[in-house]
Structure 1
Amino acid sequence: MPSKYLRALVLTGALAFGPAHAVSIEPQSPATAQSGDDGSLSQEAVDRELDLFRKAGISLRQALRIAEKAHPGSITADISFDGALGAPLYKVRTVSSGQIFECEVDGTTAEIRNNTPFSSLQGLNEIDRRNLLALRSARLKMSDAVLIAERSAAGKAIAGGLANKDGQLNFVIIVVSKDGLKQVQLEPVPRARR
């Protein structure tokens, strides 16, 4: 899981998993982020990151589509905004034919900066491998989860990933709204067998 996604989770605090439908967890102000030697973000760093995100010309959903087009037939497993270098950038991990690719999409120009193989499914731990296999068979895709989360939380998604709660795959989307950061979790429904 990319560090920016982990940072987004740190910003939202300890959040509980909800039922099998869209659940918007109450927002927490980015001011709840601590600074210190424990690796958490300072308020100034949070503010810079969010300001850069708000100014990006490319949305997370657009970056997701760009990354998936780079590998036809791929699906997104993880995406996050990264402004650490002072420029808007989305880091995207897609899965295609048993291979995981990581690419960076420029948040200003929509160009792919880096597009490299990250791992194979066999190189992952059992839980991650099961999550990606469940993602392949789910009706809901990351782009759908992001759209639902943005509507539910009335904001723009800054990160999205997969989580496993009691053996169930969940999409975890972090949304920037006027009230702060919100975490929305969705449980994808498997495709019906015919």
Structure 2
Amino acid sequence: MPVKYLCACALIGLLALAPASAVPVEPQAATATQSGDDAAPSQESVDHELDLFRRAGVSLHQAMRIAEKIHPGSVTADISFDGALGAPLYKVRTIKSGQVFECDVDGITAEVKNSALFSSLQELNELDRHNLAALRAAHLKMSDAVLIAEKSAAGKAIAGGLANNDGRLSFIIIVVSNGGLKQVQLEPAPGRH
């Protein structure tokens, strides 16, 4: 999930949760933050993005399933809504057999606009490789985390990604609920080999 998007939305602090449960935390008022040379987008641009998201007929969960079908056996590692070009689009990264694929799914038609190899696991940094290995071993998948977060926060997920908290994998899901954004963090139970 793009750090710029997280900063732009001025999302809430992380929430430590038990493995198959989630509790949303109310979002704080949006503030402009700056990270390096990237200034956060204005509240107007965030509102425009959320308006496009609300008009999309394809859900984040559906976009994830579409992307995973392109590479059977793949799992989603990162997904986010992108309305920067004025049209609703989901950017999905899936992993399979040591490769990371990126796919763009149209938020209106569900058509795949682009699908390409993004990277091999060897090209990623050590933390990303560790997170992806933990994702493959976890019982909870991104699609499960999205459904849990949507139910918990009573809304629709707009983005989902992986985070590493003290060496432990977490799913970070952003949900649009009651006109605002809520962040839900889930820590999956480790998989059994």
Using the size of structure 2 for normalisation, the TM-score is 0.92
Q: CA deviation at 1:110?
A: 0.3
Q: 2:17 aligns with which of 19, 40, 47?
A: 19
CA distance change for structure 1 residues 182 and 14 in 2, over 3 Å: closer, same or farther? Answer: closer
Identity of aligned residues (%): 67
CA distance in 2, matches of 1:150, 1:43: 23
Partners of 2:4 and 2:38 in 1: CA distance: 13
Distance in 2 between residues matched to 1:6 and 1:188, nearest whole Å: 25
Alpha-carbon distance between aligned partners in 2 of 1:146 and 1:132, rounded to the nearest angstrom: 17
Tell me the CA shift for residue 38 of structure 1: 4.7
Unaligned runs of 5+ in 1: none
The alpha carbon displacement at 1:20 in A equals 3.1
2:90 and 2:179 map into 1 onto residues whose CA distance is: 23
Gaps of 5+ in 2: none
Partner of 2:172: 172
**Matched residue, 1:126:** 126
8 Å CA contact retained: 2:71, 2:96: yes
Equivalences for residues 1-194 of structure 1 within 5 A: 1=1, 3=2, 6-13=4-11, 15-21=13-19, 22-29=22-29, 32-34=30-32, 38-193=38-193
Give the aligned residue type for 1:117: L
Q: Distance in 1 between matches of 2:167 and 2:33?
A: 34
Residues 11 and 183, structure 2, Cα contact 8 Å, conserved in 1? no
SS at match of 2:183: strand
Q: How many pairs does the alignment contain?
A: 189
The secondary structure found in structure 2 opposite 1:151 is helix
Q: Over the residues paired in the alignment, what is the CA RMSD in angstroms?
A: 1.8
- 1:41 deviates by 1.1
